[in-house]
Amino acid sequence: MLQRHCLKVGKIAVANFVAAELAGVHFNWAKLTRGNFIGAKLTGASFKFTMLAEAAFKMEELEKTDFEEATLGNRQGVGPYLADSTGLETIYLAVMKWEQIKILGDETWANGNWAKGVIIEKELRLDAYRAATRSYRQLATALEGQGLKEEAERFAYRAQIMQRKMLWWRLRQVRVKIGEMCQKYHNLAKKGFYASIGELGDDMRQEN
């Protein structure tokens, strides 16, 4: 475990801390671009001046985590993944550089372009957009709760966009299912037609 340890001035790009016990750990000044913290416990951890663009903070405990002056977005403005994380409201959000973030990593994943060569399966798009919607809503609620209204409205708007895309993919799935059902009934009807022709031919041969 890394509890209460310090990892200052580290270069740990693409680090993997899935489900790790990281309460109280200092990652100050570290390079953690695309770091994977999914399911980790980060209560009281410190990420001061840390590079966290596209880092995954999904489904984890973020109570009282310190992100002061952390770099949250990459050059394209893609921020971290935050879906289903807990404790956002306990973080001092005013010291974070929200202007760096145009969209969250959850949205880029739903769009299918998280990394070069990685394309999300179409069947998973609906769940991905649903997660991105939750992520934006959770962040917007936490920001609004700390008086950061302008930032909250911006991310609440992104949540609306994700919800519209989620509904589009849901309708798309319905259309696909209806198309499959129509094709199935068409095949059955076609099969029944040829079966009837076959039976008619048998009857005619019997009469002769």
pTM above 0.85, yes or no: no
Which residue would you say has higher pLDDT here, 141 or 183?
141
- How much is the pLDDT for 68? 92
Question: Is it the case that residue 6 has pLDDT exceeding 80?
Answer: no
- How much is the pLDDT for 200? 44
Cβ atoms of 6 and 28 closer than 8 Å: yes
Q: Which two tokens stand for residue 142?
A: 């936490």
**C-alpha span between 114 and 112 (Å, rounded):** 6
Question: Is it the case that residue 171 has pLDDT exceeding 70?
Answer: yes
On the CB side of 184, how many CA atoms lie within 13 Å of its CA? 6
Q: What is the pLDDT of residues 47-91, one digit of tens each?
A: 999 999 889 988 778 888 999 999 999 999 999 999 888 889 999
Question: Is it the case that residue 118 has pLDDT exceeding 60?
Answer: no
- How much is the pLDDT for 114? 47
Please choose, from the candidates 95, 153, 104, 113, the residue with its C-alpha nearest in 3D space to the C-alpha of residue 133: 104
First-to-final CA distance of the chain: 89
Q: Give the start-to-end residue ranges of the domains of the chain.
A: 106-207
- How much is the pLDDT for 59? 76
Question: Is it the case that residue 44 has pLDDT exceeding 80?
Answer: yes
- How much is the pLDDT for 115? 47
**C-alpha span between 9 and 38 (Å, rounded):** 22
Report CA 15 to chain centroid distance, whole Å: 19
Q: What is the dihedral of CA 138, 141, 142, 147, to 10 degrees?
A: 160
Phi/psi at 112 (5° precision): 90, 15
- How much is the pLDDT for 111? 86
